[in-house]
Structure 1
């Protein structure tokens, strides 16, 4: 498989069911948090939504920036990467209005993200960003990128449901002193 080809297993998905939610609930109870819940949400999103690139970002509202706390492609998108998100339409929609963002084409990705060339260079042509919120405030985002035309409104609804399992981990991350969070 070449760098810009999407793995065939990334294209096979199935409907979300109660076993997926049970899997996430059990993952929350395990030690080694937040990695257990991050890995569990990633696995459920892979099976039910479909993705090639998956990241979880925490959101620091005071600094108006997001920080990558989980990634399935650390060589391309390492943890710890930060992005300022002030004054963009994406930030207003996702971080303030708590509405998912979906772009179905490479042009849509280019219009919203500075690193669009990296994504499209990997053969990715659609993106879905799910705001993770607690008490009416964004605490982070769950981000999936895949081939062009992949994501739908149904994927947004599934993403909001499974992404809600990330709220506690991201809230804790945002309220802990620097260095105390074990996200990798």
Structure 2
């Protein structure tokens, strides 16, 4: 295993996802269940989206219901979808992104984090989900390392 884990694994994942599926913005969120929050642990754009930022889990929200609890990916195909899903949609658009996919990373039937890819409008499709599933499973060791440190 490379030095500097789990960051080295997440940086390699970033490159692999960019090549296989594509993204302009990529982040990895890790759930801290004891604090009831999501923390950004990795980003390819640290200026506008720095690591370490934490947001409370909003149990009434679509992200919580679909991605975290149900373990289903959420695809935002258009900017209107992004506007409904993200409070920072203007910042997202300023980065050249008008579509997104939030893909759950799960272990033992429980979501431990998510892979979040954003790109130009209409970029992500259902056809991308099998590949994202494989990438999410490959992310489990890195996220388990992060969870064990929390």
The TM-score, its normalising length taken from structure 1, stands at: 0.77
The 5 Å alignment of 1:119-138 reads 119-138=92-111
SS at match of 2:31: strand
SS at match of 1:67: strand
One of 72, 77, 102 as aligned partner of 1:99: 72
Provide Cα deviations, 1:102-137, integer angstroms capped at 9, x if missing partner: 000111011111111110122211001110011111
For 1:61 and 1:110, locate their aligned partners in 2 and report how far apart those are by CA, in whole Å. Answer: 27
Name the residue aligned to 1:160: 133
In the alignment, structure 2 segments of 5+ residues that lack a partner are: none
Provide Cα deviations, 1:120-176, integer angstroms capped at 9, x if missing partner: 122211001110011111111111000000001121221111121111221221122
Residue 85 of structure 1 and its aligned partner are, at CA, apart by: 2.5
For 2:33 and 2:7, locate their aligned partners in 1 and report how far apart those are by CA, in whole Å. Answer: 23
SS at match of 1:129: strand
Name the residue aligned to 1:25: none
For 2:149 and 2:110, locate their aligned partners in 1 and report how far apart those are by CA, in whole Å. Answer: 17
In the alignment, structure 1 segments of 5+ residues that lack a partner are: 1-28, 178-184
For 1:175 and 1:108, locate their aligned partners in 2 and report how far apart those are by CA, in whole Å. Answer: 34
| 166-175 or 52-61, larger mean C-alpha shift | 166-175
Provide Cα deviations, 1:11-42, integer angstroms capped at 9, x if missing partner: xxxxxxxxxxxxxxxxxx22221012101111
| 1:139 matches 2:115 | no
| 1:151 matches 2:124 | yes
Which segments of structure 1 move beyond 6 Å, counting only runs of 4 or more? Answer: none
Provide Cα deviations, 1:52-79, integer angstroms capped at 9, x if missing partner: 0011111112333211111110001000
Tell whether the 8 Å contact from 2:6 to 2:145 is kept in structure 1 after alignment. Answer: no
| 133-142 or 57-66, larger mean C-alpha shift | 57-66
The count of corresponding residues between Structure 1 and Structure 2 is: 149
